[in-house]
Chain A
Amino acid sequence: MTEARTSILAALRENRPKGEADLVLEDIAIQYEDPFVSFSAMMKKNGGLVVAMDSAYSAVADFANRCGPDGVLLEGELAVAENAAIWIPFRDEAERARPFLAETLAVIVRRADIVSNMAQAYARIGTGELPGYGVFMAGPSKTADIAQCLVIGAHGPIEFVTYLV
């Protein structure tokens, strides 16, 4: 163990505030009557496209038409109504950078997998086995670093399509 580790931990033990009460948090996060409606509105606001499809099969067909060979299609495990974030787990063998290099990124999510808020999302993700790498994505990449002017398409995808099936 390193010297820095020992000295840092000793200093923290010495200086930490004492008598902090137990941490119990109540469930307060917003619930939506129709998470689908809120998710769609939020995704549009975030600059993404929402396409309702009757099946994953038709979503794949539409993707092939719409995006051509340069697009990437992923599967989302769950989606969040309050902010249009979609949880995309990368199991160990998956190429982590590929979706971020694509011009167009499309994600298929089941309508039944839309939860209201982040508290529900993390609770659900936490019950399963965590992936080596996982990302919440909430639309196309963006920046406002040049004079606060919003530009869609920074480093990551310029277009973001969500297929709700």
Chain B
Amino acid sequence: MKHPEAAAGFVADSAKSSWHDQALWGVRTKRDAAVSAIPEWEELREQGARIKAWSLAHLDDLLVQFEAQCQQNGIVVHWAADGPEHNRIVHGILAKHRVKKLVKSKSMLTEECRLNEHLEAQGMEVIDTDLGERIVQLRHEPPSHIVLPAIHLQKEEIAETFHKTMGTPADMTDETELTRAARKDFRERFLQAEAGVTGVNFAVADKGIVVVCTNEGNADLGAGLPRLHIACMGIEKIIPKFDHLSVFTRLLARSATGQPITVYTIHFHKPKPGGEMHVVIVDNGRSALLGRKDFRRSLGCIRCGACMNTCPIYRRSGGHSYMATVPGPIGSTLAPSKDPKTHDSLPFASTLCGSCTDVCPVKIDLHQQLLAWRGELVKMGYGDRKKIRSMKLAGKVLSSPTLYKLAGIGARIALRGPRFVLPSEAKKWLTNRDLPPVPEESFRARYRRHQK
């Protein structure tokens, strides 16, 4: 399925779609307010971009340094070439400790590798502990946003899910009451868990430190209570120095939700006394992406979600329409690098307005990449045939003054008439909008008249 078809259902419910649009625009507005309090914001973004570029140019050395530092601190390091290997490693560690129940905080990497399915198939119970992730887990859905996993749902829908799964009263729809009910339900699960799995926001090479950022305190409990902690990270999470954390902790939350910093920024340096800590470093296509000059900068992404919150397509079509682990503009450039055939419609799900590039805290050239992907995909033989044909036609018309003139006359006549005679593609565009009235004369005619 392609993005337009996948978005159709979400867009059809126009009340919900505009609620979604407004909710995310609200997050964007908060981001703007937080950013405006920092006069050096643009320089800070530049520093973030430079650290990431340097890191990508030295990834191999940094990973080796990180590994050595971790080992020195008593942390066990594993390497996985792809998703299945990652899942096997995590399962192996858990099985060795005879773990039956585990808690997991947010990690897009484990979503990408489908870790939950793998562990559940082996009889383990995995509880996602980020509230938004838990909500979608209970509904058997994937997250629709990387920071706000349940943003596609309204509170009545969540109340219904809680009623069915946790036995809360059917009419309990108050956000605070629902959150408290979840808190109570979670507490038991945290105390019973035999292992905690977390993602990684930043991995510091020179000290062997893993940093995890949360607002809810779930990673803190998940990693702090059980004896065993496994942190899963993509190779691109590495940053060179401890001091560089200041740049990214200043950028991340302001870009993500407009907070000056996440409530908790946890630094794991050593396993807890009597406990064990493992780090699993995963490639899964990233090293190949590093070799693609036009697209490698997307590996600098710190997963703040700002590009989604600002994207006019994402806000109206919802995260599920992307059918990729990471949706929105960043997802639309990451996904085709792994599987161009499946994801060939994503780079076209953009207006190329450039808003994503403007808000990106590490200055990834997102809209340029989406444009470049369009060219790549068409060269590879993918993309919408109709679009390619119409582009070729447009190229011919726009390069010939005579054809352009004729097309102008044709369009002025056709658009004056009733809409139902238009071709079906044009009618689709006109479902929720209309064009301004057609001018009486063309620009050329007017120009000629004024010259006289």
Binary per-residue interface labels of chain A (47-59) against chain B in the complex, 1 for a CB within 8 Å, 0 otherwise: 0000000000000
Say yes or no: B262 contacts A20, CB within 8 Å.
no
* Bound-complex Cα distance A34 to B291 (A): 48
Q: Which residues of A contact B135 (CB under 8 A)?
A: 145-146
| Pairs across A and B, CB under 8 Å, 20 listed | A2-B79, A4-B80, A12-B235, A16-B60, A18-B57, A20-B54, A25-B244, A28-B40, A80-B261, A92-B273, A122-B245, A135-B220, A135-B264, A135-B266, A142-B216, A145-B132, A146-B158, A154-B179, A154-B216, A156-B264
Q: Are A119 and B265 in contact (CB under 8 A)?
A: no
What per-residue 1/0 map shows which CB atoms of B41-80 lie under 8 Å from chain A? 0011001001101101111100110000000010000111
B272 touches A9 (CB 8 A): no
**A100 in contact with B224 given A29-B40, A135-B266, A145-B131 (CB within 8 Å):** yes
Residue interface mask A104-140, B partner, CB < 8 A = 1: 0000000000000111011101100011111111111
Closest chain B residue to A121 by CB distance? B246
Q: Which of B38, B190, B225 contacts A30 (CB 8 A)?
A: B38
Q: Which one of A8, A28, A45, A157 lies within 8 Å of B283 (CB-CB)?
A: A8
Binding site for A on B (CB under 8 A): 23, 26-27, 38-40, 43-44, 47, 50-51, 53-54, 56-60, 63-64, 73, 78-81, 85, 129-132, 135, 148-151, 153-155, 158, 175-176, 178-180, 183, 186, 190, 207, 209, 215-218, 220-221, 223-225, 235, 240, 242-247, 249-250, 257, 259-273, 281, 283, 287-288, 290-291, 293, 296
A-B contact count (CB 8 A): 245
Chain B residues within an 8 Å CB radius of A132: 73, 269-273
**Residues on A facing B (Cβ under 8 Å):** 2-5, 7-9, 11-18, 20, 23, 25-26, 28-30, 42, 45-46, 80, 82-85, 92-93, 96-97, 100-101, 117-119, 121-123, 125-126, 130-149, 151, 153-157
Q: Which residues of chain A are near B267, meaning CB under 8 Å?
A: 130-131, 133-135
Enumerate chain B residues within 8 angstroms of A137, measured Cβ to Cβ: 263-264
Contacts A141-B264, A144-B257, A156-B217 aside, 16 further interface pairs with beta carbons under 8 A come to A4-B85, A11-B283, A30-B38, A83-B261, A100-B220, A133-B268, A135-B265, A135-B266, A143-B131, A145-B135, A147-B153, A148-B26, A155-B190, A155-B218, A155-B220, A156-B216
Chain A interface mostly: loop
Assess whether A7 is in contact with B81, with CB atoms less than 8 Å apart.
Answer: yes
CA of A16 to CA of B266, assembled, Å: 30
| Complex alpha-carbon distance, A146 and B215, angstroms | 14
Question: In the docked arrangement, what's the CA distance between A89 and B247, Å?
Answer: 20
- B283–A4 touching, CB < 8 Å: yes
Q: How far is the CA of A165 from the CA of B242 in the complex (A)?
A: 29
Collect the chain A residues with CB atoms within 8 Å of residue B221's CB: 97, 100-101, 155-156
